[in-house]
Structure 1
Amino acid sequence: MIENRKNWIIAPTGNLTMVLVVMLLLFTFTGCGAPRWYESYGYKSYHDMTKPSLVPVLITALGDENPDARTGAAVILGDIGPEAKEAVPSLVRALADNDKEVRKYAAQSLGLIGHGTQEVISALIEALSDPEDYVGDRAAYALELLGPQVRPQAKEAVLALIRARLDYSNKWHHDSRHKAIKRFGLEPKELVPILVGALGEREGAVRARAAKELARLGPEAREAVPALIKALGDHDADVRRQASGALGAIG
């Protein structure tokens, strides 16, 4: 009798334990166990904060100790776009955040807002060399969106894009780099001397990238032929291969 009562006690206890485990998992994966970052600002959903009138609140959130709040604020400011111009200085500062997600979305949102001041462009050019490749990629994307606004600093921007430590084997990264350069609105006669100069850089990957960009220009890069012929003797096999391809493209 006592033994049966003991089993009767253990069975429901085991079931209760299982229920508690399931509830804990639900809380963990649905986020029900803790308030969302925007709830601490008095809003029920992410979309409630996507109003231009809330830009000052989002600027405050960029300084929040919670990295989720900083990341969310950076994303929303980009969603708001040009009407979030007031947040630009704060987003520039966020490019130095210790959280890589914050830096990534700060860079992207600076492009989406489209306020291409010298300070913004310089900060994005610096972000191209971020240790995290996809932060640099978003900086390249932002420079692409700013387009002709980058012209006053085009030489610096082009060289920074050529030198950028993005994953060059990844086509998406490669296209992002090329589209940014293309969007600056430079004429081939302006771009070729910059790329020829890059053929003399110390790093082989930079020289190879410069040759590849010259190949994209085709016959309009004819002035680069002497430098490309010289590059055929480069000690780096990839540089030689890209230089040969560029000469073929130029014709």
Structure 2
Amino acid sequence: MADWLASFPLTQHLLELGKSQICKSLRTGPIPQHIGFIMDGNRTYARIKHIELKEGHSAGFESMAKILEVCYDCGVKCATVFAFSIENYKRSSYEIQWLMELAKTKFKQVVGNGEMCEQFGVQIRILGDLELLPDDVRDVLLEAQRITQHNTRAILNVCWSYASRDDMTHSVREIVGKTAKNRLPVKDIDEDCISKHLYTGSSPPLDLLIRTSGVYRLSDFMLWECSKEGCDIEILDVLWPQFNALNMVWILIKWSFNKTYNNR
């Protein structure tokens, strides 16, 4: 019944109007400046819906676009999405190939439509061990990063070929390299120094980490960032393609309420 009602243009218009008003209200109070997303459940969604695996991943990408729009409209300055883990290279060659093709297709749309980039003003940053990527995929992702580098409204970190332990290793290597060249005194190496050398080092501190599919684990994603005091973790018992704008708005309302009244 709900799906039937949602198909009407008037229903869509009312939902958009309501969402817009709620986002305006949320912008007047505390809002997380940096949200991380573990977008889990695309494969389970495909199995439940009896559709091809690639269709499940496509549905997940569409859900990501809608959720990010809500976040940015509400005043979130930075979002980090777990797009492809280093562990994902252990999946079937068919699934890996499809995910790579999906990435190329979607990011080519960004590269080929400069007006869209300017309209939303989102700066894309590709984070992870990009040497693991096929050359053609890496070129497309980095071109999307290049073409959006001057956008200032918000940031979208896309973690590709990423693992948190690899990220921390990368940070330590950079620090050791600087100390070896006498560019960084050993006495200056502390927690903040390590944070600044992570892939997310130039992003605001992580305020909220969201994982879908009801699985209570972090899957080697932003382990360093989410361990800091003040970072909340939200585990949702809903598959990522089913995670919608209303779910996101409700999480932001709860977060804002808790920060307003618990910090008094």
Instruction: Decide: shared fold, TM above 0.5.
Output: no
TM-score normalised by structure 2 residue count: 0.29
Structure with a larger share of its residues in helix? 1
Structure with a larger share of its residues in strand? 2
Higher-Rg structure is 1
TM-score normalised by structure 1 residue count: 0.30
Higher RCO (C-alpha under 8 Å, 6+ residues apart):
2
